[in-house]
Structure 1
Amino acid sequence: MFAKFVLDATWQQAAYCAVCGCGMQHIAFDIYLIYQISGGESGLISLLIYVVIYLLFYQFFAKKLPEKGEFAASRQALFPIATIILLVWILSILDNSAIAGFEAGMWHRIIYRVIDGLCCFYVLWVQINQKEKMSLQRELDGINSAWRQQKKQYQVTSETIESINRKCHDLKHQIRALREITDEKEKEEYFNEIENDIMIYDTALNTGNKALDTVMMEKGLFCKNHRIQWSCMADGTKLDFMKLEDIYAIFGNALDNAIAAVLDLKEPEKRVISVKIINQNSLLMIQIQNYYENKLHFEGGLPVTTKKNKRDHGYGMKSIRYTAEKYNGTITVNGEGNIFMLQILIPVQRGGC
């Protein structure tokens, strides 16, 4: 009950904290009893035992168990540890009671307390290990989800661009209809409509790679509509050894991050994104730069998402790294001088550039 309201947690999380706390208290109690059984009588040392155990527990367990401020307390994890701690607690009560006049020897009681404490320690250690596994699984699920979303987005965008291409092709037939229009105002409106339809080709690129052209056209349209300048120096044929969905995953995520950063900038001259793809010393180098204002915080070599819901966001950069590593590549991130630079290096593979 105390954990529920003080921590503002769910009942499941509160129960998880209470069980782990009970295990910690039991370890401290076992060590205290070992000291007492061995003939120790100092109240100060007894107090120090509890203080030291609690501090060690906080440093090596309590600080590591929460993930981004929340306890990953599943029912599958809670039931076994609660059962074990309860059994240990019951056995401890029985050991402290006078059972049929039997009194165990000193070493017997010490060994029992050591085993009792080790059981509790094992339960807590398993929680740390389980938490790390759950964290890795959640991260992998997030990356896979982002990858599937990017793949789906690529298919939708590709179909949309194909539709636009057909529409623009049909414009030449519509132009013929202009000859039949005699009203100048109506003709001017029709011209403006056609001009808006074909302005999409201002953002079209022909890099030599279909997937790259698709993502560049999609992001280019967004930039044009939101007054974001961008430059692109890219030979898409250098990416031919990569799968289409991997190309889209890298550039889709990278450009989404860059666009999100420059959208917040108030100075128009800083709303700029630069994309460069070159072949350098048997390495494919992908470099994307943009201005940014927010302070960068890194974790594991990657910037941490600035969005409030950190658990469900921040997988874009991890997806980029995961995709690059599929091709034995590496990524580096630099944020000096308020210029964010993402650089990806991938060894050139046979059949590529």
Structure 2
Amino acid sequence: MIQDALPDIPRLWTALAEWGACLLYVLATWRPQDSRRRGIAVMTAALPSLCAYQVVVARLPISLWLAGMLGAVAAMWGILHLALSGSLRRSTYLVVRAFVAAELVASLEWQVELFLLDSHAGTAPALLCVLAVDGVVLGSVYLMERPRFRAEVVPTTATVAGAAAIAAITFAMSNLSFLSTATPFSGRLGAEVFYIRTLVDLCGFIILYAQREVDLQNRASCELATSEALLRAQYEQYLTSKRAIDIVNRKYHDLRHMIASVRAEPDPAVRLERLGDLEESVRPYEVFVRTGNPVLDVILTDREQACQDAEVTLTTIVDGAALGFMAAADLATLVGTALDNALEAVSRIDDAGDRWIRLDVRTRRGFVLIEVANPEAHGQAVAADGELPRRTGASSSTHGYGLGAIRAAAEAYGGQVTAGQNPQGAFTLRVLLPIPSAPPHRSRSL
């Protein structure tokens, strides 16, 4: 075997590379809800633990080499899972990437050290150079990975399985020469074995990086398509409601004349009965929400009717004129989606007396503040970092994209969106929009 010609990577170098890879992924994927104290404690204990494990494994026979490597992967998985708060699937995905990065760093640093020792550079300069290689490679990997994990996206089972397959193939091909030189894919000279291992590990990491890029692009495309569909649906709903309300309003005025004729009925009992029936039949169709903004009037009238059907009390204190600078599609998306989400949440509350929604739109110091509050229902938990929550039911994906559409509509006007509990314990969605000095010229294709 090739180990007889050249020494393999020292176990302490392997432990250092594995610890460094775990550290960079802990830093790259760190979230506000992760415990900083626990992370520091885990990473502090991880380095001596990995070193001790590698020293023990080095004494095992070569037949148990693969088992020792699997044990190292399990140890890295435990480190990442303990240091970070996340699902088992997320920890598995991270350890796959960390293991390939550790293999790349260990192979490269040992290759550089052997080259320097062969060049009679001395042990101390070689050691310093290797440490510098460690820092540069791990730092570069961190800078590449941090933007990819800035948004928390839990990988799918297929993504984790694909990443694990890539890592397994990379590991097998990079270490094949150390197990046997009698294969078409093995190196036979000592130097070329190190080149093959380093290059294969590098290719494996690049493939994993590309996989992450493709996964993020696919998710972004899906979110964009869903957001566009929600925008179209909200705008079409607004147009439909506006046409219906215009028709009903015309009918309402006609019916008023009919009511006058009914009043002329000579029989008082019949007259009063018919009059009551006519008034009752047209009352739900009159525009009874007037805010000073015709678009908002249509939206709130439609949602008011939906709330009545669901036995939900909708209270509105709205200065509609303050939102006059917003395009109709954006206003329908922002207010309509927020009310739809609140209505779905409170509909899960059993007691009708506790089902209520409050909409407040007012100006404050050059800003328009939009607040939609409702009693917090099961599945409407707020993220620890103040980010908008995602629905936990079967329609969770649509709910998340709807909140994303709210954020996109607000950010188009330089606004911000937050969600959380108010002092009374109600769930509150807040949108803060700066009032422009002049109406913005925006075009939205729907």
Q: TM-score band, normalised by the shorter chain?
A: 0.7 to 0.9
Structure 1 CA distance for aligned equivalents of residues 155 and 214 of structure 2: 17
Question: For residues 122-166 of structure 1, what are the alpha-carbon distances to aligned partners after superposition, in whole Å with 9 as ceiling and x for unaligned?
Answer: 222222222222222222222221111111111111111111111
Mark the CA change 1:171 to 1:254 in structure 2 (over 3 Å): closer, same or farther.
same
Which shifted more, 318-327 or 41-50? 41-50
Cα distance change of structure 1 residues 203 and 177 upon mapping to structure 2, 3 Å threshold: closer
Structure 1 counterpart of 2:436, which letter? Q
Task: After TM superposition, give the deviation of residue 57 of structure 1 in Å.
Answer: 7.2
Q: Which amino acid aligns with 1:304?
A: R
- Structure-1-length-normalised TM-score: 0.74
Cα 1:322–1:203 change in 2 (3 A) is same
Shift of 1:291: 1.1
CA contact (8 A) 2:390 2:399 kept: no
Deviation at 1:185, TM superposition (A): 6.3
Distance change in 2, residues 1:202/1:148 (3 Å):
closer
Q: Does 1:344 align with 2:364?
A: no
Report what 1:11 is aligned to. none
How has the CA–CA distance of structure 1 residues 176 and 281 changed in structure 2, closer, same or farther, with 3 Å as cutoff? closer
Q: Which range moves more in the overlay, 240-249 or 226-235?
A: 226-235
Aligned position for 2:70: 50
Of the candidates 7, 27, 30, which is equivalent to residue 38 of structure 1? 7
Query: Partner of 2:419: helix, strand, or coil?
Result: strand
| Residues 210-263 of structure 1, C-alpha deviations (whole Å, 9 max, x = no match) | 110001111111222333222211111111111011111111011111212222
| 2:14 alignment partner in structure 1 | none
Say whether the 8 Å CA contact 1:68–1:311 is kept in structure 2: no
SS where residue 195 of structure 2 aligns? helix
Write the distance in 1 (CA, Å) between the matches of 2:4 and 2:227.
50
In structure 1, distance between residues paired with 2:211 and 2:430: 37
Is the CA contact 1:203–1:221 (under 8 Å) kept in the aligned structure 2?
no
Corresponding residue of 2:204: 120
Question: Which secondary structure state, in structure 2, belongs to the residue aligned with residue 38 of structure 1?
Answer: coil
Bigger mean CA offset, 135-144 vs 153-162? 135-144
In 2: Cα distance, 1:338 partner to 1:218 partner: 27
**1:1-353, aligned counterparts within 5 Å?**
38-39=7-8, 42-43=59-60, 46=65, 47-53=67-73, 56=76, 62-63=92-93, 70-71=156-157, 96-98=180-182, 104-179=188-263, 181=265, 187-200=271-284, 204-294=288-378, 296-298=381-383, 301-336=387-422, 337-351=424-438
Q: Give me the whole-angstrom Cα distance separating, in 2, the residues matched to 1:315 and 1:237.
A: 28
**One-letter code of the match for 1:331?**
V
**C-alpha contact (below 8 Å) 1:61/1:124 kept by paired residues:** no
CA distance in structure 2 between the aligned counterparts of 1:165 and 1:122, rounded to whole angstroms:
64
Structure 2 distance, partners of 1:61, 1:105, is 38
| CA distance in structure 2 between the partners assigned to 1:157 and 1:233 by the alignment | 21
Q: In structure 2, the residue corresponding to 1:311 is in which secondary structure?
A: helix
Greater strand content: 1
Q: Distance in 1 between matches of 2:4 and 2:189?
A: 15
1:63 partner SS: helix
Whether the 8 Å CA contact 2:371–2:430 is kept in 1: the answer is: yes
Whole-angstrom CA distance in 2 between matches of 1:148 and 1:293: 28
Q: Distance in 2 between matches of 1:228 and 1:310?
A: 22
Unaligned ranges ≥5, structure 2: 11-57, 81-89, 97-151, 440-446
User: Matched residues in 2 for 1:193 and 1:230: separation?
Assistant: 26
CA-based RMSD = 3.8
Q: Verify the 8 A CA contact 1:258 1:290 in the aligned structure 2.
A: yes
Q: Which moved more, 1:199-208 or 1:51-60?
A: 51-60
Q: Which amino acid aligns with 1:230?
A: L
Aligned amino acid, residue 263 of structure 1: S
Pair 91,262 (structure 1): closer, same or farther in 2 beyond 3 Å:
closer
Deviation at 1:296, TM superposition (A): 0.6
How far does residue 345 in structure 1 lie from its aligned partner after superposition? 0.7
